[in-house]
Amino acid sequence: MPSAELCAEPTSRVLVVEDQDDIREFLALVLQNEGYCVTTADNGAVALEAVAQKPVGVVLLDMRMPVMDGWAFADAYRRREGPHAPIVVLTAAQDAAARAAQINAADYLGKPFELDDLLSVVARYARG
C-alpha cells in the first residue's frame, strides 16, 4: 500500500474507516489503483489518530463499528481544530440519507454500491 506520506496534496488522500476487513481492503485497492493515497482504519478511534498525523481530502465512513462508531467519530473529528475533510457515509442501512444527515455528511453511498458511484463521489470531494 502506498504510504500517505508520498502524497503531495492532502486532497488526494482518502481515509477509509470500515470495520469489515474485506470491504476496507477492497476499497483501498480500488482507490489506490485510481491514484489516491489511502489510509485505512478499522474504527473511529484509529481514524482519529490517522487524521491527527496527516490531513485527508475525504473520509469514507462506515457508521456501525466497534470501539468508536461513525457517529462518535464524526463528532470528535469536527471538534478538532480544522480543516475538516468532507465525510461520505458508507452504510448498509435502508435509511442511508438519514444516517448521513445525522452527522451532517457531505454525501453517502448505500451498500452495496457500484464502483462507478464510489469513484464519482470520491473524485467529487477528494479532488474537487
CATH number of the domain residue 66 falls in = 3.40.50.2300
Please report the pLDDT score of residue 83 as a whole number: 83
Quick check: is 102 in a domain? yes
Range of the domain at 73: 10-126
Looking at residue 11, its pLDDT comes to 58
For the chain, which residues score pLDDT lower than 50? 1-5, 128
Q: Which residue has the cell 485505512?
A: 40
- Is 4 a domain residue? no
Inside any domain, residue 2: no
What is residue 96's predicted lDDT score, i.e. its pLDDT?
84
Q: Does the residue 1 lie in any domain?
A: no
Q: Is residue 60 part of a domain?
A: yes
What is the number of domains present in the chain?
1
pTM: 0.89
As a whole number of angstroms, the distance between CA 45 and CA 36 comes to: 22
Preceding amide of 112 cis, omega within 30: yes
Measure Cα distances from 5 to 39, 93, 99 in Å: 10, 34, 32
In a domain, 110, yes or no: yes
Q: What is the pLDDT of residue 88?
A: 96
The predicted pLDDT at position 6 comes to 53
Give the tens place of pLDDT for each residue, 79-109: 998 789 999 999 887 888 888 998 999 999 9
